[in-house]
Amino acid sequence: MHLQETSKLTPKIIARADHNISRSQISENALKVLYRLKNAGYAAYLVGGGVRDLLLGREPKDFDVATDARPEQIHALFRNCRIIGRRFRLAHVQFGREIIEVATFRAAHSAPVEQDPGHDNHGRILIDNTYGTLEQDAFRRDFTVNALYYDIRDFSVADYVGGVEDLGTGTLRLIGEPYTRYREDPVRMLRAVRFAAKLGFRMHADTSAPITALAPLLDDIPAARMFEEILKLFLYGFGLQAFESLRHFGLFGRLFPRTDAILNTEEQGFPHTFIAEALAGTDARVNAGKPVTPAFLFAALLWQPVRQRAMELETQGLHSGDAVRQAVDEVLPGQIKQVALPRRFSTPMIEIYQLQPRFTQREGKRPQRLMAHPRFRAAYDFLVLRAAAGELDPELAHWWTEIQTGDAAGLASPPAPHAGRRRRRKRRGRRATAPPT
């Protein structure tokens, strides 16, 4: 299906009686936006992932609206609205903590790419504010299952691109010519991986075929945008599957090149499993409704190059703690050119790393001091992952687990060197200064 074919197609309309979407499943605030646009004389459709998930019987995380109203017209209707974006202008209508995103129908750029200031020389879209019709908007979207429109006027669903059929067969299909669409926005390759993993769908052969060859296009994507995509890939309960798919298509190496280089090697004849262990644990936490943090995620994703460099520095005579610090200083600057990492996440990530050498210090009061550290729990969880991946002796992780539960009988560490000698000095000192009898 090519973009220029929109005028030739008649949409498939699924009447209210023939689909499972009910207004009771739609956010009250999204309904307010839809009805206000409709009552003002504008077209108003629920679109994208919200419609897709409702048709699949899932609970949507958010609701997006498409309309023929321009951003300034939307702004005039809603006092709680702000216009965002330059490349792609959108209206955000805010109701407390919920934001309903409202987009004006888009059309394809009519000029050839080489003459169009909205594209760069590789075909990437720089400015995407060419407004159009509902039909044109459907073909501007990325995947068929994300291009379904729920009409608030009669509660029907409009399908211009075969999205309903692809939902039924579990197929993720890119709309349009894949090479062109990926060049327009290379992040669509990451989105293809994400949606396939999230939905449990298989990519259509035409959709997956160009990805490996076009993976280098990700190098030109702003690092801040890549950070947001990483969170969507790895913090929503399907991170391990997404990771495996990213590696299969050669995309992971464009995001984390130093980590990927190490993953292509073996350690003592065994593959590196630390990231897989970390992502499996993260998925389990997400699916159990437990909190996860980007700091821990990035600590896992960057640990292999940091660990390898720290070991090299230790062989050169550096103390383990200093080696970790220097390794972070070498690895992190290059990494954030690919994927941005805000300081609020990089700081705790570095602390997790720096606490790792301290887990080997079990003498005297050191365990108590370490357990009092505000980042202890995250660092301990990291230690357990390292043990599970075979990086260190499981006994060490077991010791720290037991000492936290109070079941550390018999696990007391050996006395610190020369501790008895220090005690004897103190006793002699007390006898020397005691008053004569």
196-to-150, 192, 202, 238 alpha-carbon distances in Å? 23, 6, 6, 10
d(C-alpha 400, C-alpha 314), whole Å: 24
d(C-alpha 210, C-alpha 192), whole Å: 12
Annotated catalytic residue within 68, 128, 137, 142:
142
**Site of tokens 């495996």:** 244
Lowest mean pLDDT among 7-16, 161-170, 323-332: 7-16
Annotated catalytic residue within 64, 68, 159, 185:
64
pLDDT tens track for 273-317: 999 999 999 999 999 999 999 999 999 999 999 999 999 999 999
**Site of tokens 């030109």:** 220
Residue 429 has pLDDT above 90, yes or no: no
d(C-alpha 39, C-alpha 24), whole Å: 20
Crossing angle of helices 294-315 and 274-287, in 10° steps, is 160
pLDDT at residue number 8: 53
Cα–Cα–Cα angle for 411, 413, 417, rounded to 5 degrees:
165
Cα–Cα–Cα angle for 252, 308, 316, rounded to 5 degrees:
155
For residue 150, with 0-12 CB atoms within 10 Å meaning exposed, 13-18 middle and 19 or more buried, which class applies? buried
Average pLDDT score, the chain? 88
pLDDT tens track for 102-148: 999 998 755 444 444 444 555 554 455 689 999 999 999 999 999 99
Q: Determine contact, residues 339/226, Cβ cutoff 8 Å.
A: yes
Annotated catalytic residue within 62, 120, 322, 381:
62
Q: Give every CB contact of residue 77 below 8 A, 6+ residues apart in sequence.
A: 36, 37, 40, 69
Residue 427 has pLDDT above 80, yes or no: no
pLDDT at residue number 283: 97
Domains, the chain: 3-169 (3.30.460.10), 274-405 (1.10.3090.10)
At 185, the pLDDT band (50, 70, 90 cuts) reads: very high
pTM: predicted TM-score of the whole model, two decimal places: 0.85
Per DSSP, helices labelled H in 40-100 are 49-55, 71-77
Q: Is 142 a catalytic residue?
A: yes
Q: Determine contact, residues 134/68, Cβ cutoff 8 Å.
A: yes
Residue 350 has pLDDT above 80, yes or no: yes
**Site of tokens 């610090």:** 325
Q: Is 64 a catalytic residue?
A: yes
At 331, phi and psi to the nearest 5?
Answer: -80, -45
Q: Do you know the residue count of the chain?
A: 437
Crossing angle of helices 320-335 and 294-315, in 10° steps, is 120
Q: Determine contact, residues 117/126, Cβ cutoff 8 Å.
A: yes
Structure tokens at 314: 């230790």
d(C-alpha 252, C-alpha 197), whole Å: 15
